[in-house]
Amino acid sequence: AAKEKGRNLLHFFDPELDAHRRQRREQLTEITRALENEEFELHFQPQVRIADRQVTGFEALIRWNHPEKGLLYPDSFLPTLENSHLEVPLGQWVLKEAIYQMNLWHEAGENLSVSINISARHLMDRSFTRYLESYLHSHPRVKPDRITLEVLESTALEDTCRARNVLARCRKLGLHIALDDFGTGFSSLTYLRTLPVDLVKIDKSFVINMLNNVSDRAIVESVIFLGQRFAHPILAEGVETMAHASALRDLGCEYIQGYGVARPMQAHKIEGWLQEWRRHTARKQSRERPAS
């Protein structure tokens, strides 16, 4: 009995678990402060149609400008946030900021499309569409059909009936829906069948090695085939080289995103990058189609 008691005590005061909990609590406090101090920012990465090299949109990706640690990437703070009371507030900040930025671009004469990552828990929040509508209402020049919501397969979407309703409502407002990181979850096929989807994004983990790994290539091919069967356009992420891009084009993939096109960049760099890209594309196309 004494031994059992000892084990229970050990379990109760597991120092590692305790340190982990404390760390998490501290980071959450820091995130609250960071939200107040506006330390988060969105970077944007271009998405391109392979056939004509047209830029079709930009994915908004969150970064944390930490006063001491420098620029932090989502992998270092999103896991802490998950299932915490801050997941929805941060998600709302992202949504609001992305729409605000779209409005700035619109004022500068660029009517750009933006993809926004939405966590499942945020999507399932009772007030999700109400907030979305209010942000759109305060920026009437931002057209909802310029916005794509990227949703991940997640256990939180297991209530597929509700997920379907929320997504259908967003679509009715004019927004598009993308299935992000397709193929990495357990329910990919179920979601493909049950959720209203406009675009399927093949996860970068399959794309990055598709040129030298037969299994990865087989998965990429299958996802493209599936997408075509469901009449969904396909975007491949993690396209690091032009060799990837042409292999993907040959397989029937329409859109790409990755370091091979551009890395995610700060909002103020987008206009200059776009001009450079368009100049480059025009030059290339006039070389490919010489005047007769």
Query: What are the φ/ψ torsions at residue 173 (nearest 5 degrees)?
Result: -70, -15
Indicate the residue among 71 and 189 with the shorter CB distance to ligand C2E.
Answer: 71
Q: Name the token pair of 94.
A: 């992202």
Stretch that binds ligand C2E, among 56-64, 131-139, 245-253, 277-285 (CB under 6 A): 56-64
By CB under 6 A, is residue 34 in contact with ligand C2E? Answer: no
By CB under 6 A, is residue 79 in contact with ligand C2E? Answer: no
Supply the minimum distance, in Å, between the C-beta of residue 220 and ligand C2E.
Answer: 14
Given the structure tokens 């969150």, which residue do they identify?
62
By CB under 5 A, is residue 254 in contact with Mg ion? Answer: no
By CB under 5 A, is residue 150 in contact with Mg ion? Answer: yes
Supply the minimum distance, in Å, between the C-beta of residue 118 and ligand C2E.
Answer: 6
44, 114 in Cβ contact below 8 A?
A: yes
What pairs with residue 148 in β-bridges?
A: 115, 176
Between the alpha carbon of residue 280 and those of residues 6, 39, 56, 68, the distances in Å are: 70, 34, 16, 39
Helices (H), the chain: 2-12, 15-36, 78-81, 87-107, 120-124, 128-138, 160-173, 188-194, 204-207, 214-229, 242-251, 270-288
Stretch that binds ligand C2E, among 25-33, 128-136, 167-175, 234-242 (CB under 6 A): 234-242
Indicate the residue among 15 and 114 with the shorter CB distance to ligand C2E.
Answer: 114
Kindly tell me the burial class for residue 198, based on how many C-beta atoms sit within 10 Å of its own C-beta (0-12, 13-18, 19 or more): middle
Indicate the residue among 192 and 258 with the shorter CB distance to ligand C2E.
Answer: 258
Stretch that binds ligand C2E, among 6-14, 57-65, 99-107, 221-229 (CB under 6 A): 57-65
Supply the minimum distance, in Å, between the C-beta of residue 139 and Mg ion.
Answer: 22
Task: Report how far residue 120's alpha carbon sits from residue 111's, in angstroms, rounded to the nearest whole number.
Answer: 28
Which SS3 state, helix, strand or coil, does residue 220 take?
A: helix
By CB under 5 A, is residue 117 in contact with Mg ion? Answer: yes
By CB under 6 A, is residue 181 in contact with ligand C2E? Answer: yes
Q: Indicate the residue type of 230.
A: F
Supply the minimum distance, in Å, between the C-beta of residue 286 and ligand C2E.
Answer: 28
Residues within the interface to Mg ion (CB under 5 A): 117, 150, 180-181, 237
Interface contacts to ligand C2E, rule CB under 6 A: 45, 60-62, 73-75, 78, 91, 94, 117-119, 150, 180-181, 204, 237-240, 258-259, 264
